[in-house]
Amino acid sequence: MPDEEKLTKAVAISYQQGHAPKISAKGESALAEEIIALAQESGVYIHQDEHLCDFLQRLEVGDEIPKELYLVIAELIAFVYVLDGKFPEKWNNMHQKIMEEI
């Protein structure tokens, strides 16, 4: 299937500290485009990974992320925290040293 004919898919994940991440929305075609547009309008970070999306599409809204994906999802959540300028307390010294060198 040529790239321009690929179906647009989207999966939204929500996370509350102390709980497993959950599927909060998912869709294909027009619904996926609406999920993406709402995320962009709200300033939500978007990660594009066709294989991860395909796997997550198999889950239902409200389902927790399977333990096998915890590491991948944790890395994405941690990266978003860093993009937002949030660092664990132990990182403050390291972050401060990096900022001083820049």
Q: What is the pLDDT of residues 48-80, one digit of tens each?
A: 999 999 999 999 999 999 999 999 998 998 888
Give me the number of domains the chain comprises: 1
Whole-angstrom Cα distance, residue 98 to residue 85? 13
Q: Which domain holds residue 94?
A: 3-101
Q: What pTM was estimated for this model as a whole?
A: 0.74
What is the structure's pLDDT at 101?
Answer: 62
CATH number, domain containing residue 86 = 3.40.1690.10
Structure tokens at 61: 């809204």
pLDDT digits (tens, 9 = 90+) for 14-36: 988 889 999 999 999 999 999 99
Q: Is the pLDDT reported for residue 1 higher than 50?
A: no
Which amino acid type is present at position 78? A
Q: Is the pLDDT reported for residue 95 higher than 50?
A: yes
Q: Tell how many helices (H) and how many strands (E) occur in the chain.
A: 4, 2
Contact at 8 Å (CB) between 28 and 8? yes
Q: Is the pLDDT reported for residue 2 higher than 60?
A: no
